[in-house]
Amino acid sequence: MLLAVGRVGRAHGIRGEVSVDIRTDDPGARFAPGSSLATDPAGVGPLTVETVRTHSGRLLVHFAGFEDRTTAETLRGTLLLVDSAEIPPTDDPEEFHDHELIGLAAVTADGTGLGEVVDVQHHGQDLLILRLTSGDDALVPFVSAIVTAVDVPAGRIVLDPPPGLLD
């Protein structure tokens, strides 16, 4: 599964740097010099990071082969992607990457199937988007009182939904 780690913004200066809207928790690893990133649209990449720096709170990246402002501007809007297989699991047993949760079966404590996790949203509260067996989608707060267990190797999460949450 390809995961977006950034989106190219506008060109910066005249030497081919572009601003990058960061969409990863580890920009130091994802945008390290020498890193290769897949792209969407695919025909633009892969792109290899030559240099990276921060300027006025923005990440500025120079990709190999884009030596001036004009060519760098052609990257604007490009999504920068990595393969989820390249992202190691976290050391914290209570922390999960979104791609680890998507696709997990949702069941109750007694094993009754509820549906499948189809997305994760991060707002003021982390939310799991479940595709229920009825075909409807439900928003489930990702809190321990409701999501009582996450078993990624077994491919399931256990829910204890309060009345009305999944209706």
**How confident is the prediction for the chain on average, in pLDDT?**
88
Question: Vertex 121, ends 116 and 125: CA angle to 5°?
Answer: 110
91-145 pLDDT, tens digit per residue, is 666 777 777 888 999 999 888 899 999 988 877 788 899 999 989 999 999 998 9
Cβ atoms of 77 and 18 within 8 Å: the answer is no
Residue 104 carries which side chain, given as an amino acid letter?
L
Closest CA relative to residue 59, chosen from 49, 44, 67: 49
> What pLDDT does 93 receive?
63
Alpha carbon distance 50, 158 (integer Å): 44
Domain 98-159 coded CATH 3.20.20.60? no
- pLDDT of 11 > 90? The answer is yes
146-166 pLDDT, tens digit per residue, is 999 998 888 999 999 988 888
> What pLDDT does 61 receive?
95
Alpha helices in 6-147 (DSSP H): 27-30, 69-73, 98-101
* Bridge partners of residue 138, in order along the sequence: 130
- List, by residue range, all CATH 2.40.30.60 domains of the chain: 2-86
Phi-psi region of 65 (alpha: psi -120 to 50; beta: other; left: phi over 0): left
- List, by residue range, all CATH 2.30.30.240 domains of the chain: 98-159
As a CATH number, domain 2-86 is: 2.40.30.60
